[in-house]
Amino acid sequence: MPNAGITGWGKCLPPCTLSNADIATFLETSDEWITSRTGIRERRVAHASLGDMAHVAAMRALACAGLEGKDIELIVFGTTTHDDQCPNMASGLQQRIGADGCAAMDVNTACTSFLYGLSTATALIRSGVVRTALVVGGELISPYLDWNDRNVAVLFGDGAAAVVLQATEADEGLLLEKLGCYGESREILRIHGIGSAYVHQGRLLGRTEWQFEGQEIFKKAVNGMGLACEDVLRRAGKSADDVDLVIPHQANLRIIESVAKRAGVPMDRVHVNVQRYGNMSAATVPTALCEALEEGRVKPGGLLLMPGFGGGLTFCAHLVRWGGRTTPLGTTDVDLPAPTRTALEIVQRYRTARGAALT
């Protein structure tokens, strides 16, 4: 049975940066208040669509692997914030990268969507259905945020990242995973205003209200990711000392620190970028992976532990053995168009549109 090695990786982060000081111009908050509670100092706000960001990330991942779109047999797109509910995001990406006729599916498990997608694509490679797959994690959250709700407005950002998986006989790729969900707690993290439950119900679709019980989410996140990490390490016969790098979901610095402590891994072996990007939901883990590679933190043959949690409340942990290559085989000129507005101007447009919808 073949393994599914990661041979390509690429990210796309929109250039418009929204700082804590920017948010303080329209909310009663401060850089100190946000940073002390979350570890977040800034986040990206997209001026382009989710499909645009995913296209750039995918082309960079393909170039990194030395492949073209026609080589891809499966696309798994992890997201909660689709450009369209139907057709799916994966089919649009198939068209844009020239992967004509390949299988294309979306996965929505909120912030764990990329990791669940990694499991899905790996399983299909192991079973022999496909030999080459593209897994994407991307979110365009900023249009859905209630920018007047301080509890959520400070937390999230936009972005996308992707990896290429290829069948291999080498001992690399996803070794073990633990997938789970606290379905009984799904109401503590819910976005009202998206989905068929709100169609023809007197509510404007997209005018969201966030149900976000931070303390309960914190407890469930730490417990779920902690249990999942313990599970995969035990089944693999590994200890915390064997883990070269932890690449966790980047939701909140305090959550990351608590999960690392529970797993017994010191913070100098944990990759953290939440301070720069905030919580990009499905995009956090693949973006952090790309950054860790760029910074030389992922070594050939290294053992990576990737825990995550998201709405649902889903949780997981993935144990990955890295292959022999940590540098791209090629690059691409594909990029986002230049923005015409600042991040703050984009957000102010969302706030104005939301205010108009409420009147």
Cβ-Cβ contacts under 8 Å for 197 (sequence gap 6 or more): none
Tell me the average pLDDT across 301-328: 97
- B/e letters for 255-291, b = 16+ CB within 10 Å, e = fewer, are bbbbbbebbebeeebbbbbbebbbbbbbbbbbbbbbb
For residue 111, indicate whether it is catalytic. Answer: yes
Q: What strands, in cross-sheet order, belong to the sheet with 3-12?
A: 3-12, 159-168, 132-139, 74-78, 103-107
Residue 22 has a pLDDT of 98
Tell me the average pLDDT across 194-216: 81
φ, ψ for residue 129, nearest 5 deg: -65, -40
Pairwise CA distance, residues 90 & 79, whole Å: 10
For residue 249, indicate whether it is catalytic. Answer: yes
> Per the residue annotation, which of 47, 55, 82, 249 is the catalytic one?
249
Check if the beta carbon of residue 54 is closer than 8 Å to that of residue 93.
Answer: yes
Give the pair of three-digit tokens for residue 63. 């170039």
Burial of 307 (0-12, 13-18, 19+ CB in 10 A): buried
Residue 314 has a pLDDT of 98
Tell me the average pLDDT across 126-135: 98
Q: Which value, to the nearest 10 degrees, does the dihedral of the CA atoms of residues 103, 109, 110, 116 take?
A: -70
Tell me the average pLDDT across 13-40: 97
Tell me the average pLDDT across 137-163: 96
- Candidates 28, 224, 268; CA nearest to 232 is 224
- Candidates 129, 107, 128; CA nearest to 119 is 107
> Per the residue annotation, which of 3, 279, 316, 318 is the catalytic one?
279
Give the pair of three-digit tokens for residue 48. 């382009």
> Per the residue annotation, which of 12, 102, 111, 290 is the catalytic one?
111
Residue 358 has a pLDDT of 53
Tell me the average pLDDT across 95-107: 98
Confidence of residue 200 (pLDDT cuts 50, 70, 90): confident
Q: What digits encode the pLDDT tens for the residues 7-16? A: 999 999 999 9
Domains of the chain: 1-327+338-354 (3.40.47.10)
Tell me the average pLDDT across 52-72: 98
Residue 183 has a pLDDT of 96
Residue 235 has a pLDDT of 98
The strand pair at 303-310 and 314-321 is best described as: antiparallel
Q: Between 226 and 212, whose confidence is greater?
A: 226
Pairwise CA distance, residues 237 & 76, whole Å: 30
Q: What digits encode the pLDDT tens for the residues 73-93? A: 999 999 999 999 899 999 999
pTM of the prediction? 0.96
Q: In this model, does residue 65 exceed pLDDT 60?
A: yes
Residue 214 has a pLDDT of 87
Q: What is the DSSP string of 210-251?
A: EEE-HHHHHHHHHHHHHHHHHHHHHHHT--GGG-SEE----S
Confidence of residue 192 (pLDDT cuts 50, 70, 90): confident
Pairwise CA distance, residues 283 & 226, whole Å: 21
Q: What is the mean pLDDT of the chain?
A: 95
Q: In this model, does residue 357 exceed pLDDT 70?
A: no
Q: What digits encode the pLDDT tens for the residues 206-219? A: 778 888 898 999 99
Q: In this model, does residue 356 exceed pLDDT 80?
A: no
